[in-house]
Amino acid sequence: AIERSWNIEIVECESSRIDHNNIVSNLNELEVTLFSEAIENCKHNGGLGSIFLDACDVDQERFGNNVKSKLGPSWSDWRIISEHSMDSSNSLVAASSIVAKVTRDYAMQELSNEIGIDLGSGYPSDPKTKSSINELISGNKPHDCLRWTWSTVQRAWEEMHGTSVPIRFEDKAISSQTNIQHWIEGNHK
């Protein structure tokens, strides 16, 4: 990728940012914003190119149009190809999916180590994740690492506390961006 001047940017979105977004917007709009942030960080020198998106909206064309609109005029001449399941048909998108999955798995392991609880995969079907959620909501508020607006957390909170989960306002909601070189040099080898 580097030899061809291709770039992959990783945007890690904090759970608090997702929660805040869910108060003022919806997940589709946040995904458009996150894709746009990653693309904008792939600086271009005014040339033309193509951007491949694995659409996160039920309407793949709308997703591509929304990302293009969010990017603004400096990217207007770039071709955006937005399709569902593009990671199955495009090797660049497939590679990006692998980078995203490895990055996510690494972040889950790091978070598990940091808080001293095996969080499992972070998916609601994972027994370790389910078990850890109960531990992470046992206090007077859900742990900061959780998405408080995640229905799995909300259900568990309501069962344990008998009330709705508190509303979390944006406090530490920042995104972390890295480029492919940082990823290669890091622990993702």
pLDDT given for residue 9 in this prediction = 86
Radius of gyration of the chain measured on its C-alpha atoms: 18
The residue assigned the tokens 């690494």 is 106
In a domain, 67, yes or no: yes
Give the per-residue pLDDT at 148: 96
What gap in Å lies between CA 21 and CA 17, rounded to an integer? 6
Is 55 domain-assigned? Answer: yes
Q: Could you tell me the residue range of the domain that residue 69 belongs to?
A: 9-185
Q: Which CATH number does the domain housing residue 136 bear?
A: 3.30.420.10
Report pLDDT for 142: 97
Q: What is the mean pLDDT of each run of 10 residues along the chain (189 residues)?
A: 72 94 94 96 79 96 98 92 97 93 96 97 94 96 96 96 88 47 51
